Amino acid sequence: MRVAVAKKSPEATGSESRLAANLKLPIIEINDPESACDFDYLFFFDGPKLTLLATNAAACGELCVDFSEAKLNYRAKSSIKDQSIARAVGVKGGKRPSVLDATAGLGKDAFLLASFGCSVALLERSALIHALLEDGLERRGYYGAETAEILSRMDLARGEFLDFEPVSPQFDVVYLDPMFPARRKSAKVKKDMAALQKLLGYQSDGSELLQHAKRLATKRVVVKRAKTSPHLGTDAPDIEFKGSSSRYDVYLIANQSPTSMG
């Protein structure tokens, strides 16, 4: 995969130079079509916002992380009791579990969990997606006080989940949204999801992911699946929560029971 940082002026800005140095990427002129054709993706700054552009005309367009997105904030402000993801992780009454979002992607589910009051550690394996997430989290001054408070409960790290070993058990919940090929092709796949699929590829072993998650969680593992998708690995979940298009499979850890979830 060929990636470059595209600068808008003859001299690269500090942000452009730092990004290129951190990711070990070349810098090119954004208005140089000949150079752009040599790369599959270009990073560029649209105002303060970092954007990743697929250069192929048939590709899925642009990716960015924007926590001011209206649809995302509408969900964040909706009633917790009506949201399957909140019930799945165990948000109830005064309970706000700590969560490891082990497959962070563009951070939308992590933002929702943080909006409920959970502390959320985000783990992302792709250097490119991690850079977008980092930029989105660092722009908290542009979002306003309410969103900035939510982002203060989100902590980002980069790495492969199967290699991730915390010093001691510290997460009530491990949340997984693994990327697997759809069983049937659909024209309704969102552009950002299609772009993520191109960048990240697919997970290879669901059972291995699930078992590692069970080792790290102290209370439960929550796996997000498409509503009609099979369970992850061979283990059946202890309980399921179904939304309009997604399903949350909950695997309880030691001394937890379905009745304790409410």
HSE, CB side, 13 Å, CA atoms: give it for residue 125: 16
Closest CA to 60 of 194, 242, 223: 194
pLDDT tier for residue 203 given thresholds of 50, 70 and 90:
low
Assign 262 a pLDDT band (cuts: 50, 70, 90): very low
Q: Cβ contacts of residue 161 below 8 Å, gap of 6+?
A: 102, 103, 123, 125, 209, 212, 213
- State yes or no: pLDDT of 189 exceeds 70: no
Q: Does 185 score more than 90 pLDDT?
A: no
Residue 178's nearest CA partner among 253, 228, 75, 103 is 103
Residue 183 has pLDDT above 80, yes or no: no
Domains for the chain: give ranges and CATH numbers.
3-59 (no CATH), 70-261 (3.40.50.150)
- Give, for 195, the enclosing helix (H) or strand (E): helix 191-200
Instruction: State pLDDT tens for residues 10-34.
Output: 899 999 999 999 999 999 988 776 7
Cα 227 to the chain's mean position, in Å?
Answer: 19
Q: Which residue's structure tokens are 């024209």?
A: 187
Sheet hosting strand 154-158, strand order edge to edge = 154-158, 120-124, 99-101, 171-176, 217-226, 246-252, 239-242
Does residue 180 have a pLDDT over 80?
no
pLDDT band at 8 (very low <50, low <70, confident <90, very high): confident
Model confidence at 87, pLDDT cuts 50, 70, 90, reads: very high
Q: How much is the average pLDDT of 192-214?
A: 74
Are 130 and 124 contacting, i.e. CB atoms less than 8 angstroms apart?
A: yes
pTM across the whole model: 0.88
